[in-house]
Amino acid sequence: MSISEIIAPQLPYLRRFARVLSGSQDSGDAYVVAMLEAIAADPSMFPADLEPRVATYQSFLDVWSSVRLNQKKYDAPVSERLAAADRKLEAITPRARQAFLLMAVEEFSTADTAKVLKTNETEVKALVDQAASEIAEQVATNVLIIEDEPMIALDLADLVTGLGHDVCETARTHSEAVAAFKKHKPGLVLADIQLADGSSGLEAVNEILQSFDVPVIFITAYPERLLTGSRPEPTFLVNKPFRTETVQAVISQALFFDYKAHRPNAKVAAG
């Protein structure tokens, strides 16, 4: 298979990454073209021994780091959400920005992100932590934790505060969760599905979403109970047992891109 045949399926995703990284589809596409031209001039620069997607993104960032194109300032935004994300991206350190976008937007694993960035997993984790901290400085919020297992609730609270956010309350039942939300109006909800008194975190979130749209991350050992199409649509779903870096990434992504959960069939504003 030729290099062009290897790269071609990756181009739509690479263009998305380049747009978010550069702040403009025009400048992002210019970098993609520069990468293709560089590979055409010197095919040996393309790391054919790597998995195609990893190799393509690694080649792109090699060109990104070595070529400074005449970047057009931000195009008219595709949506308000992307416009807000563009503004926030400018404040994130470049290499931390790359690591964050590779994992949070392009959904690379830590190992593959390390390969793309030509580093090790320890540095990737440090870069993602740095990005999370810099993001939190811009979008710090108070967080409601709906979790009936004390040790897990404590772990989540430590994780949230470590990112620069505040935990307004930890609720163990449906009624506690709804009361806590009405009291604090948090900017993010982390919710389990099965609660201490046999009640449902899903039902608690659904009741909350009757009045408010808010980012919701479900952290559960029972994902099949959520993925039915008749329940609240979460910002993200994280399986238990969870990895700390996974929860860190999804919290940062949810707040950074201003994703909100909605009740099923609820009208969602464009963007």
Of 80, 100, 134, which closes a domain? 134
Report pLDDT digits (tens) over 31-75.
Answer: 899 999 999 999 999 999 999 999 999 999 999 888 655 444 444
**265 occurs within a structural domain:** no
Among 134, 157, 191, the domain-final residue is 134
115 and 209 assigned to the same domain: no
Task: Give the pairing of strands 142-146 and 166-171.
Answer: parallel
Q: Give the length of the chain.
A: 271
163-200 pLDDT, tens digit per residue, is: 889 999 999 999 999 999 999 999 999 999 888 778 88
Q: How far is CA 100 from CA 103, 201, 244, 245, in A?
A: 5, 29, 15, 11
Identify whether residues 162 and 229 lie together within a single domain. yes
Domain extent, residue 124, equals: 3-134
> Residue 226 has what pLDDT?
64
The tally of domains found in the chain comes to 2
The 10s digit of each residue's pLDDT in 120-133 is: 999 999 998 888 88
Q: Of residues 45 and 20, which shows the higher confidence score?
A: 45
Using CA atoms, how far apart are residues 126 and 37, in angstroms rounded to an integer?
33
What is the share, in percent, of the chain residues with pLDDT greater than 70?
80
Q: How confident is the model at residue 266 (pLDDT cuts 50, 70, 90)?
A: very low
If asked whether residues 45 and 163 sit together in one domain, one would say no
Q: Is residue 17 part of a domain?
A: yes
State residue 133's pLDDT score. 82
Provide the 8-state DSSP code for 44.
Answer: G
57 lies in the same domain as 123:
yes
Strand 188-191: give its sheet, edge to edge. 166-171, 142-146, 188-191, 216-220, 236-239
pLDDT, position 91: 58
- Residue 155's domain is classified under what CATH number? 3.40.50.2300
Residue 235 in contact with residue 261, Cβ under 8 Å?
A: yes
CATH number of the domain where residue 83 is located: 1.20.140.160
Residue 226: inside a domain, yes or no?
yes
Q: What is the residue type of 108?
A: F
The identity of residue 27, as a single letter, is S
The pLDDT score that the predictor gives to residue 67 is: 67
Three-point CA angle 237, 242, 247, nearest 5°: 65
What was the pLDDT predicted at 232?
56
Bond from prior residue into 94 cis (ω within 30 degrees of 0) = no
108/160 same-domain check: no
Contact indicator for 114, 121 with CB cutoff of 8 Å: yes
Is residue 264 included in any domain, yes or no?
Answer: no
Token representation of residue 121: 């997993």
* Whether pLDDT at 21 is above 70: yes
Same domain, 189 and 68: no
Choose one of 134, 157, 177: the last residue of a domain. Answer: 134
**What is the model's pTM?**
0.64
Residue type, 107: E
Rg (CA), the chain: 20
